[in-house]
Amino acid sequence: MNRTSLDSRSSYLTTPTNEIIINNKTSTRSKINELLSEIQSCCRPRTHKEIENYAQQISTILESDPTFNELQLAGSFIQNEAALIILKGLENNKTVTSLNLSNNYINANGINAIDKILQNNTSVITLDLSRNSLGNDGAIAIGEILKHNKTLQNLYLNAIQLSCKGISAIAKGLQENSSLLGIEIKYNDFCYDSTEAIAKALQNNSTLKYIDLSGTCIDMLGIQGIAAALKSNTTITNFFLSYEFLNNNESDDSYSDNYMRADSFSEVDSDHEESRNEHEKDFLKEYAVIQLICMRNYQKEVLEHKGTISFCLLAPELPTEIACLIADKLLITEHDAATLRRIGNKV
């Protein structure tokens, strides 16, 4: 896996567009794009009934053409009812693997309906719900999706107006999920309890490889909890947290109070600035620990892959899953890891 590229996973969503992308049939793509253009028309605002009518036509097309595999509805001005009508066309679909509903007008009620559809769908592996007003009630529904859906691999929940309760609900879903490989929960409102819930989920989850918590103001205690939880995690290889959002548990008001104001200038209190610098250093130390854990897991993954190839070449009749198990056991000691590395390099 290339650690510098998100595309190293099975599928990471590309930049959202206002165009539905259907990979196989140009005629189907043209029809759906035409209907989407009608929904998005700036010449004349569409009525609720008109939008539902266009959505029904899109749903009918999806039902009649089961050959496409990527459906993008990002920024399409779609509300709950229209989204539900369109997605009904996916209930019996077995080929759509990527569904982008980001930047629309879907709320918690819409997610509850989508949850019912996804429980019956076994093909969608990538779902983007970013920039919808889902809130904590929507997060509870997402948590249920994570508990029951066994197909979803990549989930994007950026800027969906979550707070502690909602994030904790998603974390509980992660604890019971066994299929998700990557999740983004960027630009939501974390607190200590929700960060602790995420840490617990990472400690118990054995499939997740990628998580992005950028822009979430996780504090020092939170990052320490995550670092401690990940020490026993053997699958996470990519963990992201944007530094500009680091929270030192001090309010902006308390920080501004440490300025000495004059008529034309202000000075930062040196003791306060030194304290902030020390806090940032401690925070970055914990973040460095997390990155080292990710690197350890990545190297382990590479060694297991090489070991599997080696064992399969040495014993062609050996099932791949058994080879993976043997490779994993060989990595218990450093000596065994070195042995496996030598075998793998000969392949």
Taken in order of first residue, the domains within the chain and their CATH numbers are: 6-252 (3.80.10.10)
Identify the residue with better confidence: 92 or 234. Answer: 234
Q: Which of 139, 138, 78 is nearest to 103 (CA)?
A: 78
CA–CA gap between residue 207 and residue 25 (Å, rounded): 34
User: Token digits for 284?
Assistant: 């970055």
pLDDT band at 130 (very low <50, low <70, confident <90, very high): very high
Provide mean pLDDT across the span 56-66. Answer: 80
**Pairing state of beta strands 259-261 and 70-72?**
unpaired
pLDDT over 50 at 16, yes or no: no
Q: Which of 85, 147, 104, 157 is nearest to 126 (CA)?
A: 157
Which ranges of 65-148 would DSSP assign to H, the alpha helix?
80-88, 108-120, 135-148
pLDDT over 50 at 347, yes or no: no
User: Token digits for 269?
Assistant: 């209190």
* 8-state DSSP, 15: -
Q: Which of 303, 340, 292 is nearest to 1 (CA)?
A: 303
Contact criterion met (CB below 8 Å) for 172 and 198: no
Contact criterion met (CB below 8 Å) for 236 and 211: yes
CA–CA gap between residue 9 and residue 209 (Å, rounded): 9
How much is the pLDDT for 68? Answer: 75
